[in-house]
Chains A and B, each alone.
Chain A
Amino acid sequence: MLTILLVEDNEMNRDMLSRRLKRRGYEVLIAVNGAEGVKMANSSTPDLILMDMSLPVMDGWEATKNIKADPTTKSIPVIALTAHAMSGDREKALQAGCDDYDTKPIELSRLLTKIKTFLPDS
């Protein structure tokens, strides 16, 4: 079973997304801030990371940068979840090293399509 690490600080978003992804057959790991996200990426090496950009302790850009700089984790695809409140959010995410991005509110079908491009056998 493919593992997705979900790094999201908002409880409801976390709950919704993890439950719906589990229903779709993914194993979902949770991290509630950027630092934890980096640690878990390293220890569990998930198949994909969904990274919320605005996180406490360490934000999504910083966390992604760390993950991409670490040889153990740099090949894990990272999809940024941005609130897209400001223009340039997309580019910023890509420049931080994210492989793709999606905007909130999450449209599950759209997100699933993006996930499937990185994990085709799911």
Chain B
Amino acid sequence: MTENDNSHSILIVDDNHNNLEVLSETLTRAGFQISVAIDGENALEQIQYYKPELILLDVMMPGIDGYQTCQRIKSNPDTFDIPIIFMTALSDTEHKVRGFALGAVDYITKPFQREEVLARVRVQLQLRNLARTLEGQNRMLKKEILQRERVESSLTKLNQELEKRVEERTQKLSRTLKTLRQAQVELVQQKKDLEIRVRERTAELAKSMADAEKANQAKSQFLANMSHELRTPMNAIIGYSEMLMEEAEDVGQDDFIPDLNKIHGAGKHLLNLINDILDLSKIEAGRMELYLENFNIKSLIGETVSTIRPLIEKNQNTLETNLADNLDVMHADLTKVRQSLFNLLSNASKFTKKGKIILDVSSQAIDKRQFVVFRVKDTGIGMNPEQMGKLFQAFTQADASTTRKYGGTGLGLAITKKFCQMMGGDIKVESEPGIGSTFIIHLPVQVIDSSKEKSSKSLDATKLKTDSKSGKKNTILVIDDDPTIHDLLRRFLGKKGFEVKTAKTGAEGVRLAKTLQPEAITLDVMMPGMDGWSVLTSLKAHPQTADIPVIMMTMVDDQNLGYALGATEYLLKPIDGKKLETILDRFKTTSKSNSIMVVEDDPGIREMLCRQLKAEQWKVIEAENGKEALLKLQSCSPGLILSDLMMPEMDGFELVHRLKQDQRLCSIPVVILTAKTITTQDRQKMHGRVSKIFEKGSYQRSILFDEVNNLLEEAISRKQERADSIAAT
């Protein structure tokens, strides 16, 4: 039921028209909306259609009286809340009380005062408004409360749900955590298992390696034994048949000789076969090693030619040898080169009859590297392409029948090819049937044993740190009376990044050494005036120059010969204990071994040195001279060798020379003890010694330069290591 918008509508119920009029007028004038009813029924009817805000109700009326009307109004839920003010003349308390009991809100007695009526009406209306407002607010509040309650209950429900979910999640997490912990335990266990397995596997591997190494050793030992075992009876067959032939000749029984010769020949053939098979087995087992050394090519050719001559003449062939002029020394495996050459020449002799064999030896540069080329050309039976294809394969001579006809083992070329390849070279063939064959071997002049990973270190001054103070390039001082040598060394070392300064005399050299403080000095041994030794002693005697590394060398330009003394340091005698200590300290930091070899023939000096060294916790190996030193060096590898120069049997020169030739020993640093005062005799001896070694070990210039290279590098890098280790402490 909608509230009527019109403000303040009042229903007046009175059977007295006068009253109705007066009241009506009064209230209308006060601004109220008025509707009237003349009796109770009328009023009730009106109220159905139009609900007033207040009813002024007369008590005494015909029909239903006021009280009844009031009762009816109050019992109707639609209308019970309308404020009713009774109007009546009956003013006694009993009626008033009755009226109030029925639900009236007020009572006006007749005759009424207008003002009083208005006032009471206004008050009641106010009250009613207030009541309604309150009701409205109440309802709103109730609504709000309901809403709140609903929200609360939702929240509670949500909360419960959340708690349930949290509970579930927590359980899940704890389960996961448990699983993870388990997994972790398992992982730790697996790790332990793996470690055990790794350890086992490593042990297995180590054992396999040890086994393989043992097998390898066994193989090598077998080859060595076989070698010996097979050759021994062969020697007997060959030797005895030779001997018997000699003795038969002696007693005049010449007719035995052809048969004995056959035995001899067969024995030699068998021996060759055995040697070739053993060689090939060794190569295939990977046990064939290179033994590199310097040797003179001309001498080798001479030797080989004289050995092969009988074989050549056997088939009435001629041998022509052509050697290039610039051939000199080569650094290779002498035995293998000899064997290969011999193989080619012997093949040429075998397959040529009454023909010509030419041996050409020359040098050639291939890809900036120097090679020696051996060419053996014959006018023999030659080969067709098919035969050439099988040539270098083991166990197939070009044709099986040729073995029978021409002899040989069919293995020679296979071995030769392998040898050439091992040394970094190769062999090839050109041939025409009926015309002849040409075999060409090319080998590096400087063979490098790649299996030992010993690459010829090329000195690169840029790799070495420059002097941090001056920031300039490493300076080398060359002291030599021959200006050509200055030029050569300047060009060579300059290319390596060095600054080369030169001095023509010993005196000038010493002066320059003091002012320049070079990184290293090369010193010519054979100089007129102040010779190399004097310069050396002078340098070592002055504190400013004593620490500069000196490479003693000498070169004879026109003969392409040169020699460098491969000593690392020089110490003056009588030996200054402090100086010795300084040198030892240097080697302490860089050497791995704590043993020193002392080579000195003077027992007094030797004893003193040993004492000092032992005091410094070095282990000392003594030798009286070079020969003894080398002998002892067979079974030891000291970290340093201190050697006197002048000794009997084998002097310091020879010792150093020999050491440099040995692959194992060449890296041991050598400190030479030289006398402060050198007698003329000694000097002559020294010069003589040097020139002797000169001849023995004379190098081609390039090889010499490389040697100087290496010595310089060693000396300078050792200096740097020292400087670094000092800086690091």
Binding site for B on A (CB under 8 A): 10, 12-13, 16-17, 19-20, 23, 54, 65, 68, 83, 85-88, 91-92, 95-97, 104-106, 108
Contact = CB atoms under 8 A, between A and B. Distances in A.
Contacts of B247: 23
Q: Which 4 pairs between the two chains have the least Cβ-Cβ distance?
A: A87-B291, A16-B239, A105-B235, A85-B227
B227 A83 contact: yes
Given A85-B228, A91-B662, A13 B239 contact: yes
Interface in B420-447: none
A12 B267 CA distance: 15
B239 A65 contact: no
Interface string B42-69: 0000000000000000000000000000
Contacts of A97: 627, 631
A67 to B, nearest CB: 12
Contacts of B235: 12-13, 16, 104-106
Nearest to B335: A87
Nearest to B630: A95
Contacts of A19: 243
20 contacts: A12-B232, A12-B236, A13-B235, A16-B236, A16-B243, A17-B239, A23-B250, A83-B231, A85-B224, A86-B224, A87-B289, A87-B333, A91-B661, A91-B662, A97-B631, A105-B231, A105-B238, A105-B239, A106-B235, A108-B242
B446 to A, nearest CB: 19
A95 B238 CA distance: 30
Contacts of A83: 227-228, 231
Contacts of B662: 91
Contacts of A106: 235, 239
Contacts of B634: 92, 95-96
B477 interface: no
Interface string B313-354: 000000000000000000001010000000000000000000
Contact of B246 (A20, A86, A104): A20
Contacts of B238: 105
B598 to A, nearest CB: 18
Contacts of A23: 246-247, 250
A105 B264 CA distance: 13
A10 B239 CA distance: 13
A85 B231 CA distance: 10
Interface residues of B, number: 31
Contacts of B631: 65, 95-97
B243 A20 contact: yes
Given A16-B243, A20-B243, A104-B231, A68 B236 contact: no
Nearest to A83: B228
Given A65-B631, A86-B224, A87-B333, 14 more contacts: A12-B232, A12-B240, A13-B232, A13-B235, A13-B239, A17-B239, A85-B227, A87-B290, A88-B291, A91-B661, A95-B631, A96-B631, A96-B634, A105-B238
B271 interface: yes
Interface of B: 223-224, 227-228, 231-232, 234-236, 238-240, 242-243, 246-247, 250, 271, 289-291, 333, 335, 627, 630-631, 633-634, 658, 661-662
B271 A105 contact: yes
A26 B631 CA distance: 31
A87 B419 CA distance: 14
Given A96-B631, A97-B631, A105-B271, A16 B240 contact: yes
Contact of B236 (A13, A20, A95): A13
A54 B229 CA distance: 13
Contacts of A105: 231, 234-235, 238-239, 271
Nearest to A74: B649
Contacts of A92: 634
A19 B242 CA distance: 12
Contacts of B234: 105
Interface centre among A19, A92, A95, A106 (most CB of B within 10 A): A95
A20 to B, nearest CB: 6
B251 to A, nearest CB: 12
A85 B238 CA distance: 19
B422 to A, nearest CB: 12
A95 B630 CA distance: 6
A95 B223 CA distance: 25
A83 B238 CA distance: 15
Contact of A68 (B231, B250, B291, B627): B627
B287 to A, nearest CB: 10
Nearest to B289: A87
Contacts of A87: 289-291, 333, 335
A54 B658 CA distance: 24
Contacts of A88: 291
Contacts of A20: 239, 242-243, 246
Contacts of A17: 239
Contacts of B239: 12-13, 16-17, 20, 105-106
A16 B627 CA distance: 33
A41 to B, nearest CB: 17
Nearest to B228: A83
B573 to A, nearest CB: 26
B243 A54 contact: no
A93 B311 CA distance: 31
Nearest to A96: B631
A109 to B, nearest CB: 10
A108 B246 CA distance: 12
A26 to B, nearest CB: 15
A54 B228 contact: yes
Contacts of A68: 627
A39 B302 CA distance: 41
A20 B247 CA distance: 9
Contacts of B228: 54, 83, 85
A75 to B, nearest CB: 11
A95 B289 CA distance: 20
A88 to B, nearest CB: 6
Nearest to B661: A91
B275 to A, nearest CB: 10
A92 to B, nearest CB: 7
